[in-house]
Amino acid sequence: MNDYMWIFEEFPVDEIQVTVDGPYEVHDKRRIGSKYEELMDSISRVLQANRIHTKLRVNVDTANTLPELANDIIKRQLLNCKSGQASIC
């Protein structure tokens, strides 16, 4: 997502959707080339720098734990950003 940050600054983007495959252990194992920590940091930067509504899509199955991911989102205060809003869909 870091490679696309310039797009959010240069063009009028109202909404984005980001897909996460679960907590960091699950996400990093499944998504080759995508690191959970970098993704979450990018989401935080988008919310703080821009007023872009960010939907967080979560692939849920028996291999990942939604409560662990939800707790991390709450801990990072992604649901309470002053400049934006994250939502789980």
Whole-number Å distance between alpha carbons of 78 and 88: 11
Q: Give per-residue pLDDT as tens, 10-26.
A: 888 888 898 888 888 88
As a whole number of angstroms, the distance between CA 16 and CA 62 comes to 26
> pTM, whole model, 2 decimals?
0.75
Please give the pLDDT value at position 44. 85
Query: What pLDDT score was predicted for residue 80?
Result: 60
Spans of all domains in the chain: 2-6+15-88
Q: What is the mean pLDDT of the chain?
A: 80
pLDDT at 72 over 50: yes
Mean pLDDT of the 21-34 span: 85
Query: How many whole angstroms separate alpha carbon 22 and alpha carbon 67?
Result: 10
Provide CB contacts within 8 A for 8, sequence distance 6+.
Answer: 16, 46, 49, 50, 52
